[in-house]
Amino acid sequence: MHVRGYIGIFGALLVLTLVTVGVSYLQLPTVPTIVLGLAIASAKATLVVLFFMHLKTERAMVYWPLALTVFLFAMLFAFTLWTEMDHITL
C-alpha cells in the first residue's frame, strides 16, 4: 500500500471518531447507543488491523491463531453474560 492509501485510512479513522462522538450527543436510548458505539469502534479497529497491521496481506499461520483467539474472546463474553441473562436491565 502506498503512503496515499495510509493517509486515506487515517482520514477515515478521524471521520469515524467524529461520527461516534456526534452520535453520543444525540442521547439515543441505551441499546442503539451501545450497538452504534461498538459498531463504529469495530469498523475503526478493522481498518487499523487490516491496513496498519498488514493483516490483509498476512499468511494463514497468522490467521489460525487469531481465529482461535476470536473464538475464545467470544466465549469469555458469552459465559460471563450467560450468568446475567436472567436479570439484565438496559
Q: Cα torsion at 14, 15, 16, 19 (round to 10°)?
A: 130
Q: Is 88 helix (H, G, I), strand (E, B) or coil?
A: coil
Report yes or no: 47 and 89 within 8 Å, Cβ to Cβ.
no
Footprint of other proteins on 45-74 (CB under 8 A): 45, 48-49, 52-54, 59-62, 65-66, 68-69, 72-73
Give the interface size with other proteins as a residue count (CB under 8 A): 43
Asked if 10 contacts 51 with a C-beta cutoff of 8 angstroms, the reply is: no
Binding residues vs other proteins (CB under 8 A): 3, 6-7, 9-10, 13-14, 17, 20-21, 23-24, 33-34, 37-38, 40-41, 44-45, 48-49, 52-54, 59-62, 65-66, 68-69, 72-73, 76-77, 80-81, 83-84, 87-88
